[in-house]
A and B are shown apart, each in its own frame.
Chain A
Amino acid sequence: GESVGLHLPTLSVQEGDNSIINCAYSNSASDYFIWYKQESGKGPQFIIDIRSNMDKRQGQRVTVLLNKTVKHLSLQIAATQPGDSAVYFCAESAGGYQKVTFGTGTKLQVIP
């Protein structure tokens, strides 16, 4: 069949506002979750991770929230900057952080 580009959901945010990127995961056995940022032409870059025994973890300008009941993960970026423009992937792992499954990604566009 014809190959088409992967259609990524896009989030457009005004510079200085907070961003929230959401991710639904499927494996209830997943016990480790990671957010990655991928800028154009570069490899994914680790942002923050969280284990399943936690529901919130904060980093520098970023917060990850985990809701195991509904299998939902979110990444909050405070005071979004133009340099935050990228594709953001959530990833999940079960059983000792071995095989990692990546989500399809969300494109964040920051409007100056």
Chain B
Amino acid sequence: DSGVTQTPKHLITATGQRVTLRCSPRSGDLSVYWYQQSLDQGLQFLIQYYNGEERAKGNILERFSAQQFPDLHSELNLSSLELGDSALYFCASSPDRGSQFFGPGTRLTVL
């Protein structure tokens, strides 16, 4: 158990819908990272937050957004969902300069 929690574990929705994925980092970790893992794309970095502020951005679509709250939990919002958004979404946390600890992931299926 990495200490990072993610909810929900599974999510099934329809094209065009909007969903919110939630992540609680390890106690004391200020950085939260979001990744997408799909069969044909491997593990793709989406975005990083540090203590509430966006720090780094990767291959995140404009339809996706994220935020980190004062209690350091983070949410990833995915809107106007397409079939190709079906994937595993992982959250990871770390101290400012340290190894990343991954959560168990949320499996999103868009029908």
A binding-site residues for B, Cβ under 8 Å: 3-6, 34, 36, 42-46, 49, 89, 96-105
Contacts and interface: CB of A to CB of B under 8 A. Distances in A.
B39 interface: yes
With most chain B CB atoms within 10 A of its CB, the pick from A34, A36, A44, A105 is A44
12 contacts: A3-B40, A4-B40, A6-B42, A34-B99, A46-B99, A46-B100, A46-B101, A49-B99, A97-B97, A98-B56, A99-B45, A102-B43
A47 to B, nearest CB: 9
B98 A97 contact: yes
B2 A45 contact: yes
B66 to A, nearest CB: 14
Given A43-B90, A45-B2, A99-B56, A5 B98 contact: no
Interface of B: 2, 4, 33, 35, 39-45, 48, 55-58, 84, 90, 92, 94, 97-105
Nearest to A1: B40
A98 B43 CA distance: 16
Contacts, number: 60
Given A98-B56, A99-B58, A43 B40 contact: no
Contact of A6 (B39, B92, B94): B39
Contact of A105 (B4, B42, B44, B92): B42
A42 B98 contact: no
Contacts of A44: 43, 90, 92, 102
Specify the main secondary structure of chain A where it touches its partner.
loop
Nearest to A89: B43
Contact of B2 (A4, A43, A96): A43
Given A6-B41, A104-B42, 6 more contacts: A3-B84, A4-B40, A34-B99, A43-B105, A98-B56, A99-B58
A46 to B, nearest CB: 4
A11 to B, nearest CB: 17
A89 B40 CA distance: 15
